[in-house]
Amino acid sequence: MRIVVDLPRCQGYAQCVFLAPEVFELHGEETLLYDPAVPDEQLDRVRQAAAACPVQAILVGEQVSAGAR
Ligand code: SF4
């Protein structure tokens, strides 16, 4: 499953890092690194992370193409 993080929107709250540490990683205070190709076993965690993101910066799967306009 593909994901996209809208990095300019991301505020570095790190909710996603806590919920899916194998996919999201925070370098320094505000630089988020992530793996855009999420393995199936991480998908539930990534969906939780997307739901928990305070600024809705994480787009998952079907939202990726819709959000990339
Ligand atoms: S939870 Fe959202 S705002 Fe926080 S680091 Fe992750 S993507 Fe960025």
Token couple for 34: 């992530």
pLDDT tens, position by position, for the chain (69 residues)? 999 999 999 999 899 999 999 999 999 887 999 999 999 999 999 999 999 999 999 999 988 877 655
| pLDDT value at residue 68 | 54
- 5, containing H or E segment: strand 3-5
> Ligand 1 in contact with 12 (CB < 6 A)?
yes
| pLDDT value at residue 69 | 52
What's the 7 CA to ligand 1 centre distance in angstroms?
8
Q: Say if CB 2 and CB 36 are below 8 A apart.
A: yes
Other CB atoms within 10 A of residue 9 CB: 11
> Ligand 1 in contact with 10 (CB < 6 A)?
yes
CA–CA separation, 27 vs 2, rounded Å?
A: 22
For the chain, the domains span 3-67
Residue 26 alpha carbon, nearest atom of ligand 1: 5
**Fold type of domain 3-67:** Alpha-Beta Plaits (3.30.70)
Which SS3 state, helix, strand or coil, does residue 21 take? coil
